Copies of this chain bind each other. A is one copy, B any other.
Amino acid sequence: MNVSEAYGILMGKVILMTEKVVKEKLEGLGKRMIKEIEKNEGPTFETVLRTKSNTIFDESEGCLRTGDKTETRKFLSVAQAKTFMQTVAVAAKTKKFISEDLHASIRSLFYQLKFTLGEDIDEDMFAEQSESNALIEDLEVALGIKREDLHLTTERKGTVAGPIIIKDKFGGEVNTIDGTAMGRSGWGIPSDVDNDIEFKTTADYVLVVEKDAMWQRLNEDKFWKKENCLVITPKGQASRGTRRLLRKLADKKLPIYCFMDCDAWGWYIYWTIKTGSMNLAYLGHDFAVPEARFLGVSMKDIREFEFLQKLTITAKEVDVKRAEEMLEYPWISRHADWVAELKEVLKTKKKIEQDALQGERLTFVGEYIKDKIAKKKWMS
């Protein structure tokens, strides 16, 4: 037995355990309903309320999560019966996917349900792009598992370069991928970074860079080699896979530094990585990285680096509105540096993009990041 085989068996064990738990949870859901029916009660389905009023900032965890309010779905009307049937059908289909060891997108799941249940399913109900897909979220929350564990694939996005070795058990083989040997492309972060996959890294820290173009700059500079770090771009808003990867890297005690635009979108991407967002609060700590730090770019940089003064651009309405909103969130407004930053945007009506750092010299960016980290010039 060689190392790769031994590794495969070891990983196989872990996977069987996870799969076993997930299957038991799905079966438990069904068995409980059958019992209710046998007792001549209507079947019920309990889930946590995912409303704004039941979203809290968890001080001890440092992230957004749903509160304790639950909701019990019953067979009371035709409309409810339909949703109920669909929830059960989703549970049954995903159990089948796990048994077959196959994965499916939400869109494929929609067609499987349409085929089984017939024409009366509303096609928009399962629209792949909708993160708020209520039925799947119901199951995730009710069973305390991730949709990835139900063999549902999600949008893939994000790229990594640097000292990381990935062991991807895929289609009966273990593929070993070296994050330092992927050239201009990097390693694409998959939909699921938890099941059948493991990582080892010798990096000292993780740098998260908002834009792919900036990742390409730092990759060309071999920044990850010079600094012994991982350079990751979520390519805008981080996918579920990227957020899980960052969580797992933070669990390995790697510092997570974020380098974003100084604007509505950059702040939103950062805070979603750090604390989760209102919409996705039900995901909780598994998809949040409260340890994350914001390196820049910031309004302060404009004063510090003279060449940036002519590279600011006018803040748009969305930036101003976002800055005002953020000042209302207690978990942001408690940070004096963030308050100063956002107030400066409101006062000057200016913003600045990370790309502006390349205005004088393309390779300045790396020096900027190194200096920020060395001198601990970040915001939390």
Known pairs A103-B220, A114-B311, A115-B311; A108 contacts B183 (CB<8 A):
no
Q: Is A47 an interface residue when CB atoms closer than 8 A count as contact?
A: no
Select which of B104, B182, B358 is within 8 A of A104 by beta carbon. Answer: B358
A348-375 vs B, Cβ < 8 Å mask (1 yes, 0 no): 0000010110111011000000000000
Residues on B with C-beta less than 8 A from A25 are none
Residues on B with C-beta less than 8 A from A183 are 166, 168, 170, 175, 177, 190, 197
Q: Are A188 and B191 in contact (CB under 8 A)?
A: no
Q: Are A102 and B363 in contact (CB under 8 A)?
A: yes
Interface segment, one of A50-58, A209-217, A265-273, A329-337: A209-217
Residues on B with C-beta less than 8 A from A356 are 111
Give Cα distance in the complex from A115 to B119, angstroms.
Answer: 59
Q: Is A303 an interface residue when CB atoms closer than 8 A count as contact?
A: no
Interface centre among A118, A182, A211 (most CB of B within 10 A): A182
Give Cα distance in the complex from A311 to B188, angstroms.
Answer: 32
Instruction: Report copies per complex.
Output: 2
Known pairs A175-B181, A185-B189; A213 contacts B107 (CB<8 A):
yes
Q: Is A105 an interface residue when CB atoms closer than 8 A count as contact?
A: yes
Give Cα distance in the complex from A363 to B112, angstroms.
Answer: 12
Known pairs A111-B311, A115-B310; A362 contacts B170 (CB<8 A):
no
298-344 of chain A: CB within 8 A of chain B: 307, 310-311, 313
Which B residue sits closest to A310, measured CB to CB? B119
Residues on B with C-beta less than 8 A from A159 are 188
Known pairs A153-B216, A220-B171; A114 contacts B185 (CB<8 A):
no
Q: Is A194 an interface residue when CB atoms closer than 8 A count as contact?
A: no
Residues on B with C-beta less than 8 A from A128 are 213
Give Cα distance in the complex from A128 to B220, angstroms.
Answer: 20
A181-202 vs B, Cβ < 8 Å mask (1 yes, 0 no): 1111111111110000100000
Q: Are A108 and B188 in contact (CB under 8 A)?
A: no
Give Cα distance in the complex from A123 to B118, angstroms.
Answer: 52
Known pairs A97-B362, A111-B356, A128-B213; A168 contacts B185 (CB<8 A):
yes
Select which of B112, B170, B189 is within 8 A of A359 by beta carbon. Answer: B112
Q: Is A222 an interface residue when CB atoms closer than 8 A count as contact?
A: yes
Known pairs A102-B220, A184-B168, A191-B216; A115 contacts B307 (CB<8 A):
yes
Residues on B with C-beta less than 8 A from A146 are none
Q: Are A359 and B111 in contact (CB under 8 A)?
A: yes
Give Cα distance in the complex from A327 to B28, angstroms.
Answer: 55
107-138 of chain A: CB within 8 A of chain B: 107-108, 110-112, 114-115, 118-119, 123, 128
Q: Is A147 an interface residue when CB atoms closer than 8 A count as contact?
A: no
Give Cα distance in the complex from A331 to B301, angstroms.
Answer: 55
Q: Are A111 and B168 in contact (CB under 8 A)?
A: no
Taking Cβ atoms with an 8 Å cutoff, the residues of A that contact B are: 97, 100, 102-105, 107-108, 110-112, 114-115, 118-119, 123, 128, 153, 155-156, 159, 166, 168, 170-171, 175-177, 181-192, 197, 211-213, 216-217, 220, 222, 307, 310-311, 313, 353, 355-356, 358-360, 362-363
Q: List 10 A-B contacts (CB under 8 A).
A: A105-B355, A108-B355, A108-B359, A111-B356, A111-B359, A153-B216, A175-B182, A183-B190, A185-B189, A186-B188
Using A102-B220, A155-B212, A171-B222 as known contacts, list a sample of 13 further A-B pairs with CB atoms less than 8 Å apart, ordered by residue number in A. A102-B362, A103-B217, A105-B213, A105-B216, A112-B359, A123-B313, A153-B213, A159-B188, A168-B183, A170-B184, A177-B185, A184-B191, A191-B216
